[in-house]
Amino acid sequence: MPWTMDDYPSSLKNFDKAIRKKAIEMANSMVKDGYSESRAIPIATEQAKKWKENADDNEIAHFLKHGKVTPSKHDSSSSSPETADKPEHVVKREDGWAVYAEGAKRASYVANTKEEALQRARKIAKNKGAGVKVDD
């Protein structure tokens, strides 16, 4: 059963709401992808901390308002260790420009402009020591 903001591991209780929500979202996706809960929680927690360090105030506010903590049946984690060293791709979509880790099934970020998506992709890629590719 997926964790929610009302029912989550006790190890997340002392984190601020943004980190806790992001960690829950990531851990749910990782468990869905076959990770054990005991492995998913610490990985997701560390990734959520890094996400918040690198996210701007608008991104955090948007995530708090619109981010989901229970993945849909079609979601797959873009924060999984399998994509950790893969380049980030910036891809044009109907709803804007998306940032994907190579091999990920869902975008980690969607921007209105190509430049905004490139900035986010560069930040993510720098943090994980990877490159950026633009797929127009």
| pLDDT per position as a tens digit, 101-121 | 888 888 888 899 999 999 988
pTM: 0.51
Higher pLDDT, 74 or 98: 98
* Lateral strand order in the sheet of 96-101: 109-111, 96-101, 88-93, 132-135
Q: Indicate the pLDDT class of residue 125, thresholds 50, 70 and 90.
A: confident
- Cross-strand bridge partners of residue 96: 93
- In 3D space, the residue among 37, 35, 120 whose CA is nearest the CA of residue 80 turns out to be 35
pLDDT at residue 77, as a whole number = 37
